[in-house]
Amino acid sequence: MGDPPSPRVSCPDTFARAWAKAVSGTSYLPMTQAQLEELLQRLTVRLAAALRAEPFDPRVGHQVGAELVAAHIASAEGLGRTVEVVQLRLLRDLGLVGDDISDRLARLLATITTGYARALRDRTLDEQESIRRAAMVARAQAERALRDSESRFRHQATHDPLTDLPNRTLFTERLATAIAAPGRGSARVGVCFLDLDRFKVVNDSLGHQLGDALLVQVAQRLSRAVGEHLVARLGGDEFVVLVERTDGTDDVVKVAEAALAAVAEPALVEGHELTVTASAGIVERPVAGTTPGELMRAADSTLHWAKAAGGARWALFDPARHRTELARYALSAAIPAALDRGEFFLDYQPLTSLRDGTVVGVEALVRWRHPELGVLGPDSFIGLAEETGLIVRLGGWVLAEACREAESWAAGGGPAPFVSVNLAVRQVHRPGLVQEVRGLLAQTGLPPQRLQLEITESTMMSTGGEDPVRALRMLNDLGVRIAIDDFGTGYSNLVYLRDLPVTELKVAGEFVTRLRSPQVDPASRNDEQILASLVSLAHALDLTVTAEGVETADQADLLRAIGCDAGQGWHFGKPAPAARILEQIR
């Protein structure tokens, strides 16, 4: 090699500024322009020192290339501009000369490029490894989160999130195990199904948050009260206790009484002192021949019995009562199809004038020709229809059929009787009642004065609001008769009738039953005087009076003597088809 380069006046800062300007914008640089120039000036000094050093060691270039990458000057364009500016300006700006200076520079540029490439490769590998490790960590975290989530889904699939009690799923599994466990054919099992009384009032008045807090307290009390027995929350304010391996009904009754007593203790919830009660349905039976579903349905039915009896008590499952209710349910469910098939029909019972014995009207009484049970009277199904709301459709059919049949009774030439039809509470409250009646009268041609609508005294008093009364007034204005049925069984107060569109009172049969000759029963004089007062007051209000349940001639004579207008009962005729009633009329 020749002589070392001759020193000249060096300007590393000038070259560094040129270098910085060349690489600016080629990569994202997390530093200011001054910081970049300071870095490159330091590298410039190292390059100049390497070119002057004896012996010459080009490996300095490796370090310079690596530092460029470390400073994020890490793009192909950044490397290209670095090589270009070093090759064109480094020797000139630093005043470096010598016989082999160009050769040294070439070899130094080669090592800068090599160092740059190695550092960039290592950084890429490090980043890939970091990404791989991050992916592994993320995957591990995701798998752990999935396991935790699955575990929570399993604190949630079997337990109630509010009270932490077992839920319906876990309770059903435990009940099924208790029933199906091997060798337990002679064992017995009990279920106590509880529901808080009027819990909706707590939620509506104090809010659901306080209601939830109360449920948590109830759950804790039940768990303490029933000891080792499984307590579960089925939802809402419903709880259930499983009593395994019972020796009889008394075991479950004791559990139920302990549970009800625990619930009834005053509770302080968020500053409110609350006292609630619960009702319970108890089922206890051998495990043989039963299923979890049957047990829970029986317990649910029994709970409703306790509720219907006033609540704050337990009821014991009664198979006979349960069968009766199932039969009632089946009967109510069959009403719509029976209407479609035409299984209902009407009988009529005469309302007879006590003055001259003529038939002034007839009451329509619905019957059901059941394909399996035979002919059923209204007592068998009217209550069911009212409970389920089917009374609106059934009552509508009775009204339409009675109007249709009654229209033809005027063909005999004499005065035709009116037809009296009972209206249920739901029918009276129905908004379209007036339009329905007006349409039926127009369709059948029945004169309005030949239709009487009977409404029980309790129904009249429970109409509530102006709309039902307004509807009755509109019907009365059309000429339709309005009668109060079973009068005397409710409020027994004639004063409220002054403002109602009523034309007739039908006195309940209870007042008539005890009417006998004073020689036979002196006590009947009191009933006679009561009836006489009712008749006198009704006439003062310009109302006619019909007595129901007249079964003897003596009763008819007494009613005639006190001024009663008409009578209805077996003495005057039993309910019969329209054709037979027509014979009596004519």
Instruction: Give pLDDT, residue 466.
Output: 67
Q: What percent of the chain clears pLDDT 70, i.e. is strictly above it? A: 91
Contact 275, 208 (CB under 8 A): no
Instruction: Give pLDDT, residue 1.
Output: 44
**Position 25 confidence tier, pLDDT thresholds 50, 70, 90:** confident
Contact 573, 535 (CB under 8 A): no
Mean pLDDT of 90-109: 89
User: Looking at residue 273, what DSSP letter applies?
Assistant: E
Transcribe 405-467 into DSSP letters. Answer: HHGGGGGGSSPPPEEEEE--HHHHH-TTHHHHHHHHHHHH---GGGEEEEEEHHHHHT--SHH
**Position 461 confidence tier, pLDDT thresholds 50, 70, 90:** low
Tokens representing 222 are 């039940």
Of 85, 93, 48, 39, the C-alpha closest to 66 is 39
Contact 228, 242 (CB under 8 A): no
How many other CB atoms are there within 10 angstroms of residue 537's CB atom?
A: 15
Give the residues across from 548 on adjacent strands. 568
Contact 284, 187 (CB under 8 A): no
Contact 242, 229 (CB under 8 A): yes
Lowest mean pLDDT among 75-79, 188-192, 516-520, 523-527: 516-520
CA terminus-to-terminus distance, the chain: 153
Q: Which residue has the higher pLDDT, 472 or 497?
A: 472
**Position 150 confidence tier, pLDDT thresholds 50, 70, 90:** low
Helix (H, G, I), strand (E, B) or coil at 284: strand
Question: Taking 60 as the threshold, does the pLDDT of residue 334 lie above it?
Answer: yes
Contact 83, 23 (CB under 8 A): no
Tokens representing 533 are 């007062």
- CB contact set of 524 (below 8 Å; sequence gap of 6+): 514, 515, 516, 517, 518
CA–CA gap between residue 443 and residue 399 (Å, rounded): 12
Give the residues across from 161 on adjacent strands. none
The amino acid occupying position 233 is R
Mean pLDDT of 149-157: 66
Contact 248, 184 (CB under 8 A): no
**Position 535 confidence tier, pLDDT thresholds 50, 70, 90:** very high
CA–CA gap between residue 226 and residue 246 (Å, rounded): 14
Instruction: Give pLDDT, residue 7.
Output: 46
pLDDT in tens, 224-276: 999 899 999 999 999 999 999 899 999 999 999 999 999 999 988 888 888 99
CA–CA gap between residue 555 and residue 512 (Å, rounded): 7
Kindly report the pTM of this predicted structure.
0.65
Of 111, 110, 106, the C-alpha closest to 59 is 111
Question: Taking 50 as the threshold, does the pLDDT of residue 121 lie above it?
Answer: yes
pLDDT in tens, 62-73: 999 898 988 888
Instruction: Give pLDDT, residue 494.
Output: 62
3-state secondary structure labels for all residues of 166-233: ECHHHHHHHHHHHHHCCCCCCCEEEEEEEEECCHHHHHHHHCHHHHHHHHHHHHHHHHHHCCCCEEEE
Mean pLDDT (the chain) is 88
Of 420, 392, 174, 385, the C-alpha closest to 287 is 174
**Position 307 confidence tier, pLDDT thresholds 50, 70, 90:** very high
CA–CA gap between residue 575 and residue 421 (Å, rounded): 14
Tokens representing 380 are 């068998």
Phi, psi of 415 (to 5 degrees): -65, 125
CA–CA gap between residue 186 and residue 267 (Å, rounded): 41
